[in-house]
Amino acid sequence: MIKNIIRALSAGAVALALTIPVAFASPDKPVIGVVVKIGGIPWFNAMDAGIKKRADQLGVKAFMIGPTSADPALQVRAIEDLIAQKVDVIGVVPNDAQVLEPVLQRARAAGIKVITHESPKQQNADWDFELASVKGFGEAYGKRLGEALGGKGEYAVFVGSLTVPLHNAWADAAIAYIKANYPGMTLVGDRYGVAEDVDASRKTALDLMRAHPNLKGILAFGSQGPIGAARAVQEQQAKGKVVVLGPFSPGQGRRLVHDGVLTGGYMWNPEVAGEVFVAIGTMLAKGQPIKDGTNIPGLGVVHPDGHNLIVNNLVDLNEKTVDDLAKTGL
């Protein structure tokens, strides 16, 4: 699904959902620009709220850039614009970690600090932070799906794209857990890179249900995947026959949960992730060290593993929790 990066850039086919503010850095008021996967969806709207909230609290300039589609070329262009603005810190939630390496390297060469999220293996980053460990998150889903299916049946796995590192690492952990603990379950295909697109995930789920009458479950890593897959289950009147699990925005998925076509899942709070971007960015801009035992708002006390800051702050999504979570704006 990834577009031709070079062609997209050379043709100038780059548009952003949000206008990039012109905000040059100053010594007394750091400037932080955060580039996310895609603009206009609830997950990243919540992250934007967290960015603004923490920026107001800390007295810094911070803003989010949301591309019009989950295309790495758009993220490259947004980061290039931030480099030209000479911001202090660039944050990014990558669609394709490898495609971003050259532009992030240029940012760091220009003296700009780089923070990533959902990309623990990013080479050209000062820090990456995660609100869930890869193994813990993936295995939690593998266990929950195995229990829901009684350890038997076919299942499919969706990810944001085949080049989103964290989604694929979660999928690896979930699949490995299922293989080890539920040998009666069979993976259909490998995985499908549609979970940041509600229409594509819906269509893929419909196609899979038609092609595999014994399909019993869908694990969708990416905030739009569970929504699209659940809508497909609803259309096919497969409630109770196909279990859909994955992280999603509670406000977007609450009705599907109560309708019984979206079982639930686990997530972290994207608003908190937005706050963490600004908290870490402000520390880096001001030269404050991050070391073992440092307390970072939103993460708590951290124990760095290389340049990774990983904690487990999971939130359970189910029919009992989804309404209260949705009321928070998520």
Superfamily (CATH H level) for 5-132+269-313: Response regulator (3.40.50.2300)
Encoding tokens for residue 168?
Answer: 């694929």
Structure tokens at 117: 């999220």
Cβ neighbours for 206, distance < 8 A, ≥ 6 positions apart? 232, 235, 236
**Structural domain spans, the chain:** 5-132+269-313, 134-267
Query: How many beta carbons lie within 10 A of that of residue 234, not counting itself?
Result: 18
Sign of the CA dihedral running 256, 257, 262, 268: positive
Structure pTM?
0.73
Asked if the domains 5-132+269-313 and 134-267 are classified in one and the same CATH topology, the answer is yes
Question: Could you tell me where the beta strands, DSSP code E, fall in the chain?
Answer: 31-35, 61-65, 89-92, 113-117, 127-130, 153-158, 185-187, 215-220, 243-245, 265-267, 295-296, 300-301, 308-310, 315-317
Q: Would you state the structure tokens that stand for residue 50, as one six-digit string?
A: 């967290």
Would you state the pLDDT for residue 256?
A: 98
* pLDDT for 257: 97
Closest CA to 33 of 67, 69, 71: 67
Structure-block tokens of residue 246: 């994955």
Question: Count of residues for the chain?
Answer: 330
Residue 245, Cβ neighbours under 10 Å: how many? Answer: 28
Q: What is the pLDDT of residue 21?
A: 52
Query: Has domain 134-267 been given CATH number 3.90.1150.10?
Result: no
Q: Is the separation of the CB atoms in 262 and 271 below 8 Å? A: no
Q: What is the pLDDT along the chain (330 residues), one digit of tens a residue?
A: 333 433 443 334 334 444 445 455 455 799 999 999 999 888 899 899 999 999 999 999 999 999 999 899 999 999 999 999 999 999 999 999 999 999 999 999 999 999 999 898 899 999 999 998 999 999 999 999 999 999 999 999 999 999 888 899 999 999 999 999 999 999 999 899 999 999 999 999 999 999 999 999 999 999 899 999 999 999 999 999 999 999 998 999 999 999 999 999 998 889 999 999 999 999 999 999 999 999 999 999 999 999 999 998 888 999 999 999 998 778
